Chain A
């Protein structure tokens, strides 16, 4: 794994900001699971379920606006986050150190009018969105952190 821990921190931040809808959060993609619990408490989000798969576990938390699922490696590193709800998360915070890379990749993408989807691919992070008003879905992941044998389609 060639990514620093800060990478995980970014994903965790993505999660917390999604739930808050405003204000900064402290966890990011690439961080450990302890910060998820901390931020969930701060945001009044409710932990709904934890499910274990062979190669990862999923923690699902929900706020009024959005359900967020965080995907953790067996060692407890967040390698992906998926969301579904009224509003998408604010990636400024959630992507943490990945954000500038994401922003630049998005800036270089030609605007695609008439579509209800997007895929932004930076060097280390992929962010995909889909849906329509009141029901927006998306996911962010670091391909290098995704455990071997896990299909990207499982992140939703």
Chain B
């Protein structure tokens, strides 16, 4: 296998304006006839919204007697340039500003002859949206030691309750797991809050299906995804030197160099990485209570388990995700980039056309039928190829040591049928398998036509996502596509 050599991206996040709409400060009352209104303050004073985005403004009046009052509902609102941003004057929605097109305008609130204004800048459509994160497949968000078809994001991690944050790139975007795991040495100057377990500290051993594992304490961090507000949730701080590793984590990754990522962002359909079983049973082998160096199995309340951040986002954005990546040609490209979008059917940028919705079981799994064989199946950005049983007519595999990969002499077009977990709907999916060794010998890193063998089922890895919008409905959350868990494309 060849590994990509990519420039290590250096990231500078745009500082984000805190867009908290101001509330009328103290005072209250005020509007008595003896004390005339002398000024109106409109907040936020300077703000930026995307075309199509909406932001609530407030108006606070100050009277001659020094008292103040919230005049948001009483004021008449206007925008000096309606072509840039419009403002709602309907009862119940007063002061809601919607970006129309790139530019600047003043938002004005008037009561009688007194007025106040605030400036708003509207960025063009496709510019920074609150619910969008950039994904690069290989490319600038991935480290230079990345492997083929690796989708990377950057995540901002903050001390709890603090604005001290660090933005960490090279985080693997993984729809096949749940929760954020981050190597300790990527955040050396942050102090997260250890989750207690009795009188000890909570730690976790996560085993992955490739035989690797991650070990380390569970700590509360402020997690900021794109321009979403910070959510404070338990994350796993990956640290093989923490306490004493249990048997299950004897081979835990010792470094991000061996893991080939700084962390994993698990955004699949589940809220927790274990669920109710770990609440009642201390012997599962995932969670441990460490006192000094001694660690033993422990039960863990749901809220203390490592949490998928998506269900914790504001309601508008927490019912699901969309993974959106561009198509790539045969023979691949060096890198590509797309979007991770939060929320389904709640904003102009996350309202689906009409994808086919496949209900999944509690694990996010559905069925795939390939060459007449019906097996368990899942959609996984964390898998870098299409892995499926090599049932007759068999595909040629590569010579050892790459015999787990397919190596047909010419690229093959194949078909499989995806089926909802409960028998419907079903849809035919064309896909491609090329010669892994030939492709890996090129300068390219992102391929739609790489795949390998699987013993147990059909793993639709990253190639499936190229050229598609793929929806994941969070468990128990309603959306315009139904209530999760589901996948749709």
Binding site for B on A (CB under 8 A): 20-23, 64-65, 86-88, 90, 92-93, 106, 110-120, 128-137, 139, 156
One of B24-32, B320-328, B339-347, B382-390 at the interface: B382-390
- What sequence of 0s and 1s flags, for each residue 260-279 of chain B, a beta carbon within 8 Å of any chain A beta carbon? 10000010101001110100
Interface centre among A86, A113, A131 (most CB of B within 10 A): A113
Residues of A within 8 A of B57 (CB): none
Residues of A within 8 A of B452 (CB): 115, 117
Please tell me if the beta carbons of B283 and A132 are within 8 angstroms of each other in the complex: no
- Within the complex, the shortest CB–CB distance from A22 to chain B, in Å, comes to 5
Tell me the bound Cα distance from A23 to B403 in angstroms. 36
Can you list 28 A-B contacts (CB < 8 A)?
A21-B283, A64-B281, A65-B277, A87-B284, A87-B286, A90-B248, A113-B384, A114-B150, A114-B382, A114-B384, A115-B384, A116-B208, A117-B210, A117-B404, A117-B452, A117-B454, A117-B455, A117-B459, A119-B404, A119-B455, A130-B454, A130-B459, A133-B178, A133-B268, A133-B270, A134-B363, A137-B209, A137-B456
Please tell me if the beta carbons of B285 and A65 are within 8 angstroms of each other in the complex: yes
Residues of B within 8 A of A118 (CB): 209-211
B272's nearest neighbour on chain A, judged by CB, is: A134
Tell me the bound Cα distance from A22 to B385 in angstroms. 34
Contact of A114 among B147, B207, B401 (CB under 8 A): B147
Q: Is B149 an interface residue (CB 8 A)?
A: yes
Residues of A within 8 A of B209 (CB): 115-118, 129-132, 136-137
Residues of B within 8 A of A110 (CB): 401
Tell me the bound Cα distance from A156 to B389 in angstroms. 13
Residues of A within 8 A of B70 (CB): none
**Contacts A65-B285, A112-B210: A128 and B258 contacting too (C-beta < 8 A)?**
no
Please tell me if the beta carbons of A20 and B283 are within 8 angstroms of each other in the complex: yes
Tell me the bound Cα distance from A131 to B247 in angstroms. 21
B147's nearest neighbour on chain A, judged by CB, is: A113
Please tell me if the beta carbons of A130 and B177 are within 8 angstroms of each other in the complex: no
Within 240-262 of B, Cβ neighbours of A (below 8 Å) are at 246-248, 250-251, 258-260
Place the interface of chain B in its size category: 35 or more
Residues of B within 8 A of A65 (CB): 277, 281, 283-285
**Contacts A90-B247, A132-B378, A134-B274: A116 and B147 contacting too (C-beta < 8 A)?**
no
Tell me the bound Cα distance from A75 to B296 in angstroms. 39
Contact of A22 among B208, B211, B283, B384 (CB under 8 A): B283
Tell me the bound Cα distance from A28 to B273 in angstroms. 30
Residues of A within 8 A of B49 (CB): none
Residues of B within 8 A of A136 (CB): 207, 209
B365's nearest neighbour on chain A, judged by CB, is: A135
Please tell me if the beta carbons of A64 and B284 are within 8 angstroms of each other in the complex: yes
B270's nearest neighbour on chain A, judged by CB, is: A134
B378's nearest neighbour on chain A, judged by CB, is: A132
